[in-house]
């Protein structure tokens, strides 16, 4: 299958202004050179702790905030080069589902008003709207009698179904889902994840699925990209990421997944400290302050993302050629 979305060396910097003249003193490098591709019908999970730049990446892809550098190609077309009007028409094919269904749906609107809004915005005639609304409610597991009820009358899970229905009503190709189950009770999470999976099959959807929780992406994603401090540190097939994770950060995230049998836990990495500031990131590897496997040159040299094995890329000196040659030379000396 062909790529639906290609993100090339995307950078999103936010200026920090200082002083009376509001000169730009420095930048928050929220996204600092991110590249990935998502093929049609595929799900890419974008994972990492909060503050790693996942949501900013998602919003940058959707052109909801200004990108500083790099390219976002959607169906081969560079989105940054489109006019506002052209982008508005592309938005039909690219929809977002947000984390908090309480915040993202206006509680004073009825379900009908919520679902009609995108239809109106994209010029769907009034007499066709009702049928589209009822159809999308049905596939999202909502009773069509709910159309006249207000968003505030619903539970979190039902609200997220309304949010998903709103995102899907224009039959988009790409859904950017930013922590779509993080605000929901655990018992409801699986229902919403199953719904997203069914909808993907039914509509041939492509997902960029953003989550801080690896257990959530595990069963939904074909590929996983792990972000740390504005960069991708590991990307590959989901199976490989879970079985043969390479980056110590990925390892710590996987170790944080609760498992039923605690005896399976041997040398578990427990993350200490916080993500460093993107204003003044470490010079070498960004993970240096928290990494249990840190080496001397990790402090000075930034590891680049390199292919380790088929389609599995990692940015860590443990796998870089220089480090391998260090190992070889130290072996031959002894
Ligand atoms: Fe740890 Fe060094 Fe690898 Fe960074 S480059 S993750 S500090 S071993
Ligand atoms: Mg976020």
CATH number of the domain encompassing residue 17: 3.40.50.300
Taken in order 106, 109, 111, 114, the sign of the CA dihedral is: negative
The Cα 89–Cα 80 span in angstroms is 14
Task: Work out which ligand 1 atom sits closest to the CA atom of 292.
Answer: 1
Q: Could you identify the residue written with the tokens 């999976």?
A: 197
Contact 44, 222 (CB under 8 A): yes
Q: Which of 36, 39, 78 is nearest to 58 (CA)?
A: 36
Give the model's pLDDT for residue 334.
36
Report d(CA 219, CA 238) in Å as an integer. 9
Task: Output the six-digit token pair for 121.
Answer: 């915005």
Q: What is the 57 CA–ligand 2 centroid distance (Å)? A: 9
Neighbours of 72 (CB within 10 A): 21
* CA 76 to ligand 2 centroid distance, Å: 27
pLDDT one digit per residue (tens) for the chain, 334 residues: 789 999 999 999 998 877 767 777 788 999 999 999 999 999 999 999 988 999 999 999 999 999 999 999 999 999 999 999 999 999 999 999 998 877 888 989 999 999 999 999 999 999 999 999 999 999 999 998 999 999 999 999 999 999 999 999 999 999 999 999 999 998 899 999 999 999 999 999 999 999 999 988 988 999 999 999 999 999 999 999 999 999 999 999 998 887 655 555 555 667 777 778 878 888 899 999 999 999 999 999 999 999 999 999 999 999 986 555 444 444 444 3
Calculate the CA 214 to chain-centre distance.
12
Characterize the bridge pairing of strands 174-178 and 3-18: unpaired
What pLDDT does residue 333 have?
Answer: 41
**The tokens 């093929």 sit on which residue?**
39
The pLDDT score that the predictor gives to residue 265 is: 53
**Residue whose CA is at the smallest distance from ligand 1 atom 8:** 294
pLDDT of residue 92: 93
Q: In DSSP terms, which residues pair with 74 in a beta bridge? A: 5, 77
Residue 295 has, within 13 A of its CA and on its CB side, a CA count of 15
Domain count, the chain: 1
What's the pLDDT at 332? 42
113's CB contacts (< 8 A; 6+ apart) are none
Would you state the torsion angle of the CA atoms of residues 260, 50, 250, 180, taken in this order, to the nearest 10 degrees?
60
Sheet holding 23-39, edge to edge: 23-39, 3-18, 69-74, 77-78
Q: Minimal CA–CA distance to 216: which of 269, 177, 263, 266?
A: 177
Ramachandran area for residue 204 (φ above 0: left; ψ -120 to 50: alpha; else beta)? left
> Which of 226, 275, 284, 291 to probe ligand 1 with, by most ligand atoms within 8 A of CB?
291
* Ligand index nearest the alpha carbon of residue 293: 1
Q: Coil, strand or helix: which one is 291?
A: coil
Name the maximum alpha-carbon separation found in the chain. Answer: 82
CA distance 318 to 333: 20
Rounded CA gap, 115 and 166, in Å?
Answer: 5
Q: Which residues contact 65 (CB under 8 A, 6 or more apart)?
A: 12, 56, 59
User: Residue 31 in 3-state DSSP?
Assistant: strand
- For residue 217, the enclosing domain spans 3-333
Cα dist from 214 to 46, 189, 211, 283, 314, whole Å: 9, 13, 7, 28, 17
Q: What is the pLDDT of residue 262?
A: 55
For the CA atoms of 178, 6, 68, 100, the dihedral, rounded to the nearest 10 degrees, stands at -10
Residue 298 CA: which ligand 1 atom is closest? 2
Pocket of ligand 1 (CB under 6 A): 247-248, 285, 287-288, 291, 293-295, 298, 303, 316-318
With a cut of 0.85, is the ipTM above it?
yes
CA of 78 to the centre of ligand 1 (A): 34
């Amino acid at each position: 299958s062909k790529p639906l979305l290609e993100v090339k060396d995307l950078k999103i910097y936010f200026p920090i202004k200082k002083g009376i003249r509001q000169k730009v003193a420095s930048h928050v490098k929220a996204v600092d050179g991110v590249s990935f591709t998502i093929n049609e019908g595929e799900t890419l999970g974008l994972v990492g702790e909060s503050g790693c730049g996942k949501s900013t990446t998602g919003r940058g892809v959707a052109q909801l905030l200004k990108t500083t550098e790099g390219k976002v190609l959607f169906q081969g077309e560079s989105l940054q080069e489109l006019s506002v009007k052209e982008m508005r028409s592309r938005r039909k094919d690219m929809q977002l589902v947000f984390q908090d269904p309480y915040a993202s749906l206006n509680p004073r609107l009825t379900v009908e008003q919520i679902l009609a809004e995108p239809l109106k915005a994209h010029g769907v005639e009034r007499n066709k709207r009702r049928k589209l609304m009822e159809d999308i409610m049905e596939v999202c597991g909502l009773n069509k009698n709910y159309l006249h009820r207000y968003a505030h009358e619903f539970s979190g899970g039902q609200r997220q179904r309304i949010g998903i229905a709103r995102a899907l009503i224009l039959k988009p190709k790409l859904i950017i889902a930013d922590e779509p189950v993080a605000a929901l009770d655990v018992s409801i999470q699986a229902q919403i994840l199953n719904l997203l999976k069914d909808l993907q099959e039914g509509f041939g959807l492509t997902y960029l699925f953003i989550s801080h929780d690896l257990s959530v992406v595990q069963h939904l994603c074909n590929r996983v990209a792990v972000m740390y401090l504005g960069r991708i540190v590991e990307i590959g097939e989901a199976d490989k990421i879970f079985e043969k994770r390479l980056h110590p950060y990925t390892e710590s995230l996987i170790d944080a997944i609760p498992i039923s049998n605690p005896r399976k836990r041997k040398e578990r990495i427990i993350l200490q400290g916080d993500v460093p500031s993107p204003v003044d990131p470490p010079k070498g590897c960004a993970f240096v302050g928290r990494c249990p496997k840190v080496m001397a040159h990790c402090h000075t040299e930034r590891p680049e993302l390199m292919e380790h094995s088929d389609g599995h890329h990692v940015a860590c000196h443990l796998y870089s050629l220089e480090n391998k040659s260090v190992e070889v030379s130290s072996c031959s000396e002894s």
